Amino acid sequence: MSTGAPDILLIDDSPTTADLFKYALRANKSQTTVQAVHDSEAALEMLLGGNPTSPTALPQLILLDMHLPRVDGLEVLAQLRADERTRQIPVLIYSGADAEAVEAEVMHHGASGYLCKPAEFREICAMIKRIEQQWLKR
């Protein structure tokens, strides 16, 4: 992780989802840091808007809601993959839809993985533990 960057950048327009994610990290007694951004345009500005010769500290992993207002998750993903600074950051897309077709679509667009949003808190805790083990090597 670059100094000052969170381990995970969560891009989701729902403050409730961000709060649940943070509560789950605490419940897991995790040391993982997370920063939530509730607007796709603000996230893109944060990640891509800086000076290319003096880059912003980047997260190790991005969790990206597929269904965002204005700029949807697939467009955010396309912009992240098109930029040299963010091309290699793993991006996990998530949605409430649990469908193979959705997973195939996001993978085709360059996502590192697809997650179905869990409905229960204990499932969120388990999902976060898997993310940490697989993507953050903890």
Give one DSSP letter per residue of the chain, joined into a string. Answer: --TT--SEEEE-S-HHHHHHHHHHHHHTT----EEEES-HHHHHHHHHSS-TTSPPP--SEEEEES--SSS-HHHHHHHHHHSTTTTTS-EEEEES---HHHHHHHHHTT-SEEEEPPSSHHHHHHHHHHHHHHHS--
Judge whether residue 37 has pLDDT over 70: yes
* pLDDT cut 70: percent of the chain above it: 92
Average pLDDT over residues 32-52: 88
Asked if residue 56 belongs to a domain, the reply is yes
Query: Which pLDDT value is given to residue 53?
Result: 59
Judge whether residue 62 has pLDDT over 80: yes
Query: Which pLDDT value is given to residue 75?
Result: 95
Lowest mean pLDDT among 82-86, 96-100, 127-131: 96-100
Average pLDDT over residues 33-62: 85
Query: Which pLDDT value is given to residue 2?
Result: 40
Taking CA atoms, 49 is separated from 52, 120, 130, in Å, by 8, 36, 31
Between CA 12 and CA 119 the distance in angstroms is 16
Asked if residue 2 belongs to a domain, the reply is no
Report the chain's mean pLDDT, rounded to a whole number. 89
CATH at 113: 3.40.50.2300
Instruction: Count the domains in the chain.
Output: 1
As beta bridge partners, residue 35 has 9
Q: Which has the higher per-residue pLDDT, 125 or 3?
A: 125
Asked if residue 1 belongs to a domain, the reply is no
Asked if residue 95 belongs to a domain, the reply is yes
Residue 88 belongs to what domain range? 8-135
Asked if residue 61 belongs to a domain, the reply is yes
Q: Which has the higher per-residue pLDDT, 23 or 97?
A: 23
> Which residues, 6 or more positions from 29, have their beta carbon under 8 angstroms from its beta carbon?
none
Query: Which pLDDT value is given to residue 101?
Result: 79
Asked if residue 67 belongs to a domain, the reply is yes
Asked if residue 26 belongs to a domain, the reply is yes
Lowest mean pLDDT among 66-70, 100-104, 124-128: 100-104
Asked if residue 3 belongs to a domain, the reply is no
pTM of the model: 0.90
